[in-house]
Amino acid sequence: MALSRSRNVAAVVLIVALALGFGSSAVLAPEADALVSRSTLTVVDGTVLVSHGGAEFTSARDGDVLAAGDRIRTAMGAAAEITYFEGSSVRLEADTEIVVESLRTEADGGTVIAMMQTLGRTWHVVTKLISGSSRYEVRTPSSTASVRGTIFAVDVHVDADGRRLR
């Protein structure tokens, strides 16, 4: 009887330990997802500025980690590249500004990358998105491009009367 009772106690302790382990990983999962959804900036040439989450612009450095809400600006003669967490990338040419709007993974494993380009020229190399919920999106003041795996460029220029053109 004592042996059976100690097995029951051991089984209960094991179940509680497993429940706590699974419970804590479920609580940590959003934090882990946030780490996976980060992307890196490479300064290719010249002056590149970054604003993290609406803060003042500061000089960007190679390897800066970007998150949703960050703004990147290249100066005259400068260039930068962002490599997203899922393998896609965007190259910002001189006099370009973008805002990273979304970097996340979906419950089904899909990825969502979205940005707003307010000025300049960018070149995008998008990995093939497998999941139905995956998307890569570039918005401009006049249009939106949503793709699932391709290479394309986006141009946003200011007209003489101040209107932004794509």
Reported as a pLDDT band with limits 50, 70 and 90, residue 158 is: confident
Residue 16 confidence (pLDDT) above 90: no
pLDDT for 104-149, tens place per residue?
988 888 889 999 999 999 999 998 877 778 899 999 999 999 988 8
More confident residue, 92 or 148: 92
Residue 14 confidence (pLDDT) above 70: no
How far is 143 from 166, CA to CA, in rounded Å?
8
Residue 55: CATH number of its domain: 2.60.120
Indicate whether 80 and 28 sit together in one domain.
no
How far is 78 from 6, CA to CA, in rounded Å?
70
Indicate whether 29 and 49 sit together in one domain.
no
* pTM score: 0.74
Indicate whether 52 and 27 sit together in one domain.
no
How far is 111 from 7, CA to CA, in rounded Å?
46
Indicate whether 27 and 89 sit together in one domain.
no
Picking from 3-12, 49-58, 63-72, which range would have the lowest pLDDT averaged per residue? 3-12
3-state secondary structure (DSSP) of residue 27: helix
Indicate whether 73 and 93 sit together in one domain.
yes
What pLDDT sits at residue 24? 36
**What domain range is 25 assigned to?**
1-36
Cβ(97)–Cβ(121) below 8 Å: no
Residue 12 confidence (pLDDT) above 70: no
Question: CA nearest 72: which of 40, 97, 55, 39?
Answer: 97
What domain count does the chain have?
Answer: 2
Give the start-end residues of each E strand in the chain.
Answer: 39-45, 48-51, 58-59, 64-66, 71-74, 79-83, 89-92, 97-105, 111-125, 135-139, 144-147, 151-158, 164-165
What pLDDT sits at residue 17? 42
What pLDDT sits at residue 88? 93
More confident residue, 155 or 166: 155
Residue 23 confidence (pLDDT) above 50: no
How far is 89 from 70, CA to CA, in rounded Å?
16
Buried b (16+ CB within 10 A) or exposed e, 143-161: eebeeeeeeeebebeeeee
Phi, psi of 22, rounded to the nearest 5 degrees: -65, -40
Length of the chain counted residue by residue = 166
Residue 99's alpha-carbon distances to 39, 136, 139, in angstroms, are: 13, 14, 10
Indicate whether 24 and 55 sit together in one domain.
no
What mean pLDDT, rounded, does the chain reach? 80
What pLDDT sits at residue 28? 36
